[in-house]
Structures are given as C-alpha cells and as structure tokens.
Structure 1
Amino acid sequence: MYTQFNKFRVGVFTFLTMLLMVSCSKDDINEEELNLTEDATEVNAKAHGLKTPASVMYIEVNDNAMENAAAYTLPNGKPMIDIAVIFAANVNYKNASRTHVLSMNENVKRVLRNKNTTIKPLQRKGIKVLLSILGNHQAVGIANFPSRNMARKFARQVANVVRNNGLDGVDLDDEFAKYGTIGGRPAINSRSFIWLLQELRAAMPSNKIITYYRIGESTSQMTSGGKRAGQFLDYAFQPFYGSYTNISVPGLGKGKLAAAAVDVTRTAASTARSFAQRTKNDRYGAFVMYNLDGVNRESYLNGISQGLYGKKTKLTGTLKN
C-alpha cells in the first residue's frame, strides 16, 4: 500500500495519476509516463500471504489462459498456486531514442485489457499475478543498460504497467536478449542489473514482488557498488525445467530460492512429486512450474502439493482452453 501523504502530496498524486493513465494497447510504453517513486523494503512470504514453499506457475499466454491458475484448490479452499506469472512482455529497443522499451504482444495486451476476468479473479482468491519481462532477440535486455538513468526510465515504464493494471509485481528473465548480435546496441556492463533492481524498487510500492528467473548474462552482475541483488528481490528461481539444482543469489537465503523447476506438460509426474518433497526437506522457499494449460492437471498438481504441503489439490474450477 502507498504510504500516507499530507494533503498537498495527495493533491499532487491525484493530479499526476490522471495524467499518467494510458492505454496498454501501445507496443512501446512512453518512458516518461511514470515519475512518482517510493522507497521499498524486503517483505517475506508470510507478509505477501504466500505459502511456504510458495508455488509459482509461469503461464504462456500465447497458448494458455491465466484463469486456469485459479481452478485448483487445497482442502481449506485456498488456491494451490501462489504466484501466477504472465509470460511474457519483452525488452525491445527504440532506435530513435537509443533506449530500452517495454513491449507487449497482442496476447499479453489481451490479458491486461481484460484484467477483470483474467487477473482480478485470481487476486481475489489470494494469487499474486506478476508480469514477466523477457529479452526479444534485439540485443538488449536487463544486462546492458548503459547508464543508471536508462535503467530508471525502463523501470518507470514497468512500474506504470504494474500500477495501471493492478499487478502484484514483475519477474525478470534474461533469456533471448541475444546481446552483441546487432551493431550499435549497448554493450553488457557489470552494473546494469543492480541499477534496474534499485530503480524498480524505487518506482514501485513496497508491497510489489520482484522475482528473478536466474539465467543469462545478468547472473554475473549480481553484485555492484556494494549492493547485492538479493537486497531487492523477493525470490529467485532455478530456470531449467525437469531439473533440481541448488542456486545462489547474493543476499538471498534458501527461503527465497527455488531449486526445482518442472514443465507440467513434459516433466514426469513422479519427478515433480520427488522435487516437491526435496524442496520441502531442503527448506527452499519456492517451487517453480511452467506451462499450465486447459487440460485437467489435478493429479499432477496433487502430487506436488502433497510433497510441498502434505495436502491434496482438487480441480474446483472450470478450465479454459
């Protein structure tokens, strides 16, 4: 929640908010649309209302429906899934201004435009909805902001979309950037990732979640200027589906990490159950899943929830293809 403002600041906030509201139908969000910032502090899973370990589901919205994340529940009526990630918006490059820009394809835009049916019903059940930010083969991403000012401008674009669409935060994914493949694009540098994390925390309210899909060039940028990536992250995830791998992120303990990652359409159910039990036994704080579709996955998710929580998962909602 935003902190309390005095009467003058409330008036300024209201005025600026009216100016800053924009449609999400644009491919490139104007980097100047958000100029309000707020300090943030780390909050734990309990403060976010998440289970321990938190169950995380990436949903490929080019093919699948976000609504399916709310269809599976535990015996207490709470959702099996804690965090549903919209996969994915992109980091593109605007040649005219030589800046990174946030871009969204039609399927991501559709989810955001229809948030009353795609996002809010999940949130009402207690599921946090994040937007994944992903490279897009344009030689730019989270690892090559040439200056802190450039990182700040991009962070404000992201924060604007989070705020205007009532999202609970963002996930950062350094795949598919293809750094160095296009002439004239910024070079990778050792400070880019920390800059972005700092600016995202400054641009978003303190209750917003930032997660990190631990892959790509940014994995070598997790410390800079005396700052550690974990100071600004809520969770970081092992990125290779079908595997269980111990990972480290400076500043994050096991309670904020996921060693397990499964594709619910490809990873064997027995493997997923085993990974879930290992996650619990090893005291990791999250379990990552990908590719929830419109097929009944009750049995598969039940195996995971039994390992994570000792509780059954039931299909209680209507699936959407």
Structure 2
Amino acid sequence: MKLRYIYCLAGLLSLGGVLFSSCTDDLEIGKNVDESALSGIYENRGYLCDAVTSKTEQVIELYTSPEYTTSVKVNLTKGFVAQTSMKIAVDEAYLDTYNKEHGTDYVLLPSELVSLDNGGVIQASIEEGMPSLEVKLAVGDRLEAGKTYVLPLAIMENSSDVTIKNETDKHCIYFIRDMRQFGDTYKGEDKLKGYLFFEVNGVNPLNALSFQLENGKYLWDVVVLFAANINYDAEAGRPYVKCNPNVQYLLDNNETLLQPLRKRGMKVLLGLLGNHDMTGLAQLSDQGAKDFAREVAQYCKAYNLDGVNYDDEYSSSPDLDNPSLGPHGPAAAAKLCYETKKAMPDKLVTIFQYGSFRGLPEQVNGVDADQWIDIIVPNYGSSANTVGSIMTKKKCAGLAIEFNLGYGSFGSHTGDQLVKEGYGWFMGFAPSPEKYTSVFNSLNGVGDYYGSPLKEPTIFYKKNDPNPSNYPSDLFN
C-alpha cells in the first residue's frame, strides 16, 4: 500500500466514531487498490492556447488594419523547468482533420501571411518564466472580404518533460475574417456594442438601417430574428428547428432582406425559443443537444447567418422516456450552448439570461463557459451576469430596453457608466417604425456617448419589402 493511501485512511479515522463505524464494514485491509484513476497525475500536461483569452479557438476580425498581432502560450499543469521548450508552427494538414470532425469546409489562411516570433520556439528560463509567442498576421488584400479563413497552430516539438495528450491540446485554431469593407458598425474597440431583437412577425429587420449616427456608423452591431422555435418531429422522432412563415420568408429571401445588414457589418442571428411542446432548449439529452446543435449550425451555414440566440421560454415538460430529451435545467441549457459552439466555432452563441439560462454551470466537459458563450443579454430592468470563472462583463449587456412597451432608456451618462462597470453591450427589443418617436427619444444619450448624434429617421422598411420607404410620410400608406 502506497503512503498516500495511508494518509487518506488516517484522515478518515480522524473524522470521528460516527464516520468510522459507518465505514468499517466496507474496509478491506490488504485488498489491491485500483490506481487507474490516478494515471497521468504525475505528467506535466501541456496545451496550446491564445495568450490573451486562454481559448483554444479564437475569432479575429480585421476592421481597421490589414495587420494584426496576437500571441500564443502553452499552459502546463505542473509548471516548467529550465530546459522546457516548445516548437510552434502552422499545421496545414490538420485543417482536413478539423473539417471532417466538425462537418465544415473552412479554407486555410495562406501560411505566408503568418510570421511567428523566434522561429516559433518557446523556451523557458528562470529569468523570464514560460514566455508567450508573438504571432503576426499581414493579410494585405489577399483575403476575400467577410470569408472565414483558418490558421491552425500546433505544438510540433516539445521537450521530454511535457506531455501533449491529444490533438485538441496540441492545436490552437484561429478563425480570421477581413471585415474592412464592412466597418459601418465599428465604433471603436472599447465602445459599447448594440444588440437588437426584431419581432419579425410584424417588422422588417432592415429597419436596423434607420438607426445611424451622423458620422455614418450604425448603432446596432447584432440583429436577432425573433424567433424560430424548437419543436418535436414525431415522424422523425427528434427535436428540430421550426420556422413560422414570417421567419421562413426572411430566410428564403435573405439576399435582399438580411444580407444588406451583414454587408454593413451587422451580425444577423437566428433567435430560437420553445413552442409549447415537450422539447425545449434547456431539456435536451446529451445526444439531443448534439443533434439539435448540428441542425442549428446547418441553418446558419445554409442561410449565411452569424449565429444564434437561445431563449428558454414556452416549453412544456419533457418526456423523460424520449432519448432526445432530459431533465429541464441549467445543465441541459449549458450542454446545448457547448455543443452549438463545437458545431460552429466561428459563429456567435448568445443567450437571453432567463429561465434555465440563468444559473448555468461554470463548465461543460471541463471547458469553461467563456469558451462556449459569446454574448449574454438580460431580462428587462436588469443586467446580465457572467458565467464561469474566466468570463468578464465585456460579454454581457448591462442595459435592456423594451421599445414596444417603453421600458428603459439610454441616457447621456448611460454609456460611460456601463463601460465603467465593465459591460460591453446594451440591448434593445422590438422597435417598430410606428413608434419611432418614442424609440428614438429613449436613445437620446447615444450621441453623447459615441461622440456623434443619432440621426433623425428618414427611412423605414415595410414588412418583407427590400426597398426603403420615406419616414414618416409613407408610414400609413
């Protein structure tokens, strides 16, 4: 018997007579101990990640310059010794493996656009510790605007004191998009971003173009089509994405009704919520979450969307005998987010912090929530809370305005206060041209914050019409 087991037994005995008496019948002296669970505990395991975010998958969007600098690092479970070293390089062959595993068709970033400091070598020293490695991108005009390219970096060599367990630990994946032609929403790296829900049963999402600052920048960075649903397909025996006629019309006509927003830099997301049956976004089994996430990813790919928003409302109790379903709760909600991010790592996974999307666990399968949630927006009258141990409020909305009912406003000091508190977003819900007077009044402070007044609206878009109408003269025509 090894010494560590004697220590454990001594600790149990010291807890007192009650515990001792409850355990004596189960204690078998001399029995061989199964040490398989302890395999690897003495290894110095390493994994490659972005040095700034600690993520193993990171999206980079270029808005202002064809050049970008970041850095990677190798995290170690047991620290370094003086001779610890790594060689990092572009692993072009891995892209085929990644695409097959995720069902994607990403294109490789040309390796000649990438340079690694120090020839890609990371060498530990007593003086400097374990340094990070600078990665420079110089894309020039080589990339197709808005297209996603992948840069797979990998630990290609490592010293004998470090163990690289698998391909995931070995690689750090960057998704790179040149957005310089779509910078109409970019208001500064440290400025709040706007997140807007459109009730698309009655309002054309192109009305986001009515909200423009005098300097030409658009107010809303993200537009959500609210909403498609999760429902149960009895014939196929599985949950599926159900689009009502209004949502489906927008998707079928996305080139004229959605892509104009994306061409100006706005992200367009598919909103999803429950629809009064036994399926729900927070009551899928592990396999159900994986299958539904793949379908969501296919919708985003087919209709050229930028991600999804999940809202846990309007679902009935799950049938626990159904293999696609499981107990309703935050654990299931988190698993869906996790599987969705795996299925579309370059897209946005966002949540409305309501129902079981509150109180989410910090991790799924050992992965922190910061890696599978991109934006969190709150219920009206509140602010969103971070999830996990790494996430900052930069991913959260500190304000939620309900335009239709007149709840909330963005005053002259609102933006500075939200930034001071660490928030990165504010949210709006359901603006309609018929209420533009009150809607724009509730946003009277954005000009002070962004340094450019919000223009008075001169256009609006009627339902399903890609052509602008004059505001307000055509409002009731």
Deviation at 1:54, TM superposition (A): 0.9
List per-residue Cα deviations over 1:244-287 (Å, max 9, x = no partner).
33523224211111121111232257x43265454234231100
C-alpha distance 277-314 of structure 1, shift in aligned 2 (>3 A):
same
Kindly name which structure, 1 or 2, has the bigger radius of gyration based on alpha carbons: 2
C-alpha distance 235-308 of structure 1, shift in aligned 2 (>3 A):
farther
Partners of 1:302 and 1:245 lie apart in 2 by: 18
Matched, 1:165 2:278: no
List per-residue Cα deviations over 1:110-141 (Å, max 9, x = no partner).
11111122111111111111111111111322
Q: Which residue of 2 aligns with 1:204?
A: 344
Q: Which amino acid letter does the alignment assign opposite residue 306 of structure 1?
A: G
Matched, 1:176 2:314: yes
C-alpha distance 141-68 of structure 1, shift in aligned 2 (>3 A):
same
Q: Which residue of 1 aligns with 2:144?
A: none
Q: Where does the alignment leave 5 or more consecutive residues of structure 1 unmatched?
A: 19-37
Deviation at 1:9, TM superposition (A): 5.1
Q: Residue 293 of structure 1 is aligned with which of 432, 443, 450?
A: 432
Partners of 2:445 and 2:339 lie apart in 1 by: 35
Q: Which residue of 2 aligns with 1:222?
A: 361
Instruction: Output the aligned Cα RMSD.
Output: 3.6
Summarize the alignment of residues 139-158 of structure 1 with structure 2, pairs less than 5 Å apart.
139-147=278-286, 149-158=287-296
Matched, 1:76 2:203: no
> Which one has more relative contact order, counting CA pairs under 8 Å at least 6 apart?
1
Q: Where does the alignment leave 5 or more consecutive residues of structure 2 unmatched?
A: 1-58, 60-89, 106-151, 153-171, 463-477
C-alpha distance 132-246 of structure 1, shift in aligned 2 (>3 A):
closer
- Alignment: residue pair count: 292
Matched, 1:259 2:398: yes
Q: TM-score, normalised by structure 1?
A: 0.77
Deviation at 1:143, TM superposition (A): 1.3
C-alpha distance 180-200 of structure 1, shift in aligned 2 (>3 A):
closer
C-alpha distance 245-190 of structure 1, shift in aligned 2 (>3 A):
closer
Q: Which residue of 2 aligns with 1:306?
A: 447
Partners of 1:146 and 1:83 lie apart in 2 by: 30
C-alpha distance 110-304 of structure 1, shift in aligned 2 (>3 A):
farther
Partners of 1:56 and 1:156 lie apart in 2 by: 24
What secondary structure does 2:440 align onto? Answer: helix
Q: Which residue of 2 aligns with 1:35?
A: none
C-alpha distance 301-124 of structure 1, shift in aligned 2 (>3 A):
farther
Asked whether the 8 Å contact 2:213–2:447 carries over to 1, the reply is no
Kindly indicate which of the two structures has a greater share of residues assigned to helix: 1
Q: Which residue of 2 aligns with 1:127?
A: 266
Matched, 1:319 2:460: yes
List per-residue Cα deviations over 1:80-120 (Å, max 9, x = no partner).
11111100010111234442211110000011111122111
Q: TM-score, normalised by structure 2?
A: 0.54
Asked whether the 8 Å contact 1:42–1:234 carries over to 2, the reply is no
Kindly indicate which of the two structures has a greater share of residues assigned to strand: 2
List per-residue Cα deviations over 1:146-186 (Å, max 9, x = no partner).
22x22111111101110111111111111222335999664
